[in-house]
Chain A
Amino acid sequence: MAEIYGKGIVALKQMLDNKEISPTELFQYFEKRADEHEGKIHSYITRASVDYNADRPTEGKLAGIPIAVKDIFCTKDLRTTAASKVLDEFIPKYESTATARLIAEGAWFTGKTNMDAWAHGASSETSAYGLTYNPWDLDRYPGGSSSGSASVVSAYVAPASIGTDTGGSIRHPASWCGILGLKPTHGRVSRYGVAAMGSSLDSPGPMGLYTEDLALLLEVMAGKDEYDATTSPSPVPNYTADMQTKRTFTLGIAKEYIDDATPDIQKRIMETVEILKKMGHTIKEVSLLDPKYAISAYTIINRAEVSSNLARLHGVRYSNPRNMFGEEAKRRSMLGAYALSHGYYDEYYKKAQKVRQLIKQSFADTFQSIDLILAPTAPVTALEVGSFEKYPFFGEMMDRLNEPASVAGIPAMSVPIGLDGDNLPVGMQIIGPALHESDLLNLSYQLEQETDFFGVIKQGLENWK
């Protein structure tokens, strides 16, 4: 049998199509890897069995492909907790649109991955089910909130995963765990059946080791959904085909974003920029609104929406009582309720919405003269477990370079561009205009072809072989 280890989902699909392996054997391979490594990384809250996947369609773009799913997607007959005790015993009777579309193409689910409870955070510290650890250094955070979806791929316990990104929750852990993560345009992938955090921000998206895997997963999940009125009616491009036509881009670098990162990260970014230049792309310095405005606007809008979205978990019918909410959820609900209360609405929420318009405008203006923006994904590489307690707004501190794209609702992707002095992966964001996911994937694919992501993916796999 050919080697499975390290293969992405497109390559695995080839193996399945060639009958080199059966879906059950493939699934069992990852079950075995989970048995071996879960004790170290703790990626899953709930693992799924072969039986659970027994009725999957045998035909389709993902037929027999194992995928790990963030525990915020409601999965029919498979426990969904959002990493909170409030939903400890919750087994949905319905399927989220994103996972339903994966299932319709024959995907198998390996399990539900750990995360910050309700996606509140960037470390997995707020999960009620314990920490997830970073495969690059088990004393460090994987990032978050899609913590398990990043670590599970990084340690090759699953070949690919899906997560959600509200203010960096896909990009941030992808960068800290040295993998790829794509936050699509808000409304590109349906939010139906995804426990809501910030409704105007939440964007489900793919995570994996190879650009083609992300392209395929996005292709399957994206598109208009009659159950989500905010999904875009725009047709879904063939991302896989689009990325293979090499294109040259005008790439913008914003000082406001670079200055914020550690010297190592800045260095990796500048090295990547030099390579991109050599590859024929044009680099242009641009000026964007200082990310600090995005953080303020994001925080107010996010907390307001959180306070409203968590109100349904009152325990009258299906959930555990409200006293089972964790500290962070309570904090966010209180802050959000305050920002929306009479007399403060204008001062906080309304003002935040105005700032949001300015941020959108700032990006729109910038995209008049360039195609894509390059920026660090996070200001620092993976932090040591325990540092969470030092920052009351840990998530916002870590996501401050992610939140502008979230607030603007535009697509952004994190790709590995090397390691820092501590041998930890550095991620670079590629930010594009609304619905330009094809451009992001195109550039990612070029970097992959040209640099193999500076050997990061390869080394990550080497570490866990």
Chain B
Amino acid sequence: MSNKYTPIIGLEIHIELNTKSKMFCQCPADYFGQEPNTHTCPVCLGMPGGLPVPNEEAIRRTILFGKAIGCKINKRFKFDRKHYFYPDLPKGYQISQYDEPIVGNGNLEVYVNGEKKSFAITRVHLEEDTGKLTHKGGESLIDYNRGGVPLMEIVTEPVFHTSEDVKAFLEELQLIARYLGIANADMEKGDMRLEPNISLQLTEKLPELPEYKVEVKNINSFKFAQKAIEYELKRQEEILERGEVPPQETRGWDANTKTTVPQRLKENANDYRYFPDADIPVFEYTDEQLQEIYDEGMVRLPHERIGTYVDEWGVKYVDAVTLVKSKDTAEYFEDLVSANKTAGLDLKPQQIAAALLNKKIKISDDPTKALKEFKESTAPVETDMDKLSSVVDTVLRENQKAVDDFKSGKNPNAIMYLMGQVMRAMKGQADANIVKRLLEERI
């Protein structure tokens, strides 16, 4: 991409909450791999007289998530009806939130390749998922097990300029959701869905926003998110270079052809006829109630942990990022660091991090015991120099081919092989550096 254009990308991200029951009824929210239409009732099937009763646990989780991603929590919020006709929507409307969502705006700090960046979030609201349509041989089948599952929608400002930023942001959201234990956020399973709005603006015209945007759907992995955005940016640049403006439309990512294909034009904006859902009273939380939710559910978040590991403990950034990818690993690492201190083992956090990442320490081990064993295994070994000298000679004599390969430069790794032979003969009782030096001297 030339500097002539700047990509302008805004995101809409849906994350399903893994609550026990659905958003507005008592049906189980778990639908993956279930017999179709077995987790349904008059409420989530939109039968006459079915009424929504909001799932307070889903609300609690959304509040927690909003707080974790640095957004303002609205003490007063309500639910609205969003109307459109589609077979996967039994009531003819989706219960969502319009002008008073649970979570307002804020900023999330994300490390992108070691650089701390801040991305502006517009809002997070809670809604119900739709049913699942399957088109088979001219027939369309509907499974309402997914209908009514709690779904968070995160909307960002158009502040992303590279596909890398988008990927890092998505990964961070996924990680936070998992840290909080509120969602599986698995893109491949559809628990987490990304719909980016992508456009290009002439760099000289910034900060004015472009006159069009293209929404891309059907993205079901982080890798495809990046690929779809890159493809779309290239496609749009070509159109703009021809002196045309890409049409405002929704496109779908096709994983087979690695392209985006048109789905529907957006010239006529849908009129969803939003209005407050009179079946659900307006919510008003007090500061104390919110505080209680944070106190009960908040955890130390990945980017906070990275900060501590890197800035305070001197861990390499890449290692810190890898460690926090799983909350269990991060927590175990912190246990190790603390055990190291308590037991006075004097290992450096970076050494511990590397050992953990190289699986020299296993997460199931008792931290203190594991550290002690690790320390012993890395202690310098007393070397019997006489024995070593004779072993080296024997190995060199018996492995002439490896010696020749190394000498001629045909295989520079042959020395590693020879080292292995020596170490084996020494039953590991030799300092590797000394072995290497001796071998090099005598070849």
Contacts and interface: CB of A to CB of B under 8 A. Distances in A.
Interface of A: 73-74, 80, 82, 87, 90, 92-94, 96, 191-196, 198-200, 226-230, 304-305, 307-308, 310-314, 316-318, 337, 340-342, 345, 349
A80 B48 contact: yes
Given A200-B278, A311-B91, A195 B48 contact: yes
Contact of B278 (A227, A230, A310): A230
A194 B49 contact: yes
B90 A316 contact: yes
B271 A341 contact: yes
Interface residues of B, number: 31
A229 B52 contact: yes
Contacts of B275: 304, 308, 340, 345, 349
A267 to B, nearest CB: 39
Contacts of B42: 74, 92-94, 193
B366 to A, nearest CB: 47
A308 B93 contact: yes
Interface string B82-95: 01010100111100
A311 B85 contact: yes
Contacts of A74: 42, 47-49
Contacts of B279: 199, 228-230
Contacts of A198: 278
- Across the A-B interface, the 4 shortest Cβ-Cβ residue pairs: A311-B92, A200-B278, A193-B49, A340-B273
Interface in B48-64: 48-54
A312 B83 CA distance: 10
Contacts of B85: 311, 314
Nearest to A86: B48
13 contacts: A82-B48, A92-B42, A193-B50, A227-B43, A229-B281, A308-B93, A308-B273, A311-B83, A312-B91, A316-B142, A340-B83, A345-B275, A349-B275
Nearest to A187: B281
B146 interface: no
A200 B81 CA distance: 14
A250 to B, nearest CB: 32
A337 B83 CA distance: 10
B81 A227 contact: no
B49 A96 contact: yes
Contacts, number: 98
Residue of B43, B52, B92 with most chain A CB atoms under a 10 A cut-off: B92
A337 B273 contact: yes
A74 B45 CA distance: 15
B46 A199 contact: no
A226 B281 CA distance: 13
Contacts of B280: 229-230
Given A312-B48, A317-B90, A345-B274, 16 more contacts: A80-B48, A82-B48, A92-B42, A94-B47, A194-B49, A195-B49, A200-B278, A226-B53, A229-B52, A229-B280, A230-B281, A308-B273, A308-B275, A316-B142, A340-B83, A342-B269
A345 B81 CA distance: 13
Contacts of B91: 311-312
Contact of B48 (A87, A200, A228, A304): A87
A312 B92 contact: yes
A60 to B, nearest CB: 23
Given A229-B54, A229-B280, A340-B273, A312 B49 contact: no
Contact of A92 (B47, B54, B83): B47
A305 B278 contact: yes
A313 B85 CA distance: 11
Interface in B222-279: 269, 271, 273-275, 277-279
Interface in B114-169: 142
A308 B51 contact: no
Residue of B49, B53, B81, B142 with most chain A CB atoms under a 10 A cut-off: B49
Contacts of B277: 199
Given A317-B45, A318-B47, A229 B278 contact: no
B92 A191 contact: no
A227 B42 CA distance: 11
B49 A314 contact: no
Given A87-B48, A94-B42, A316 B83 contact: no
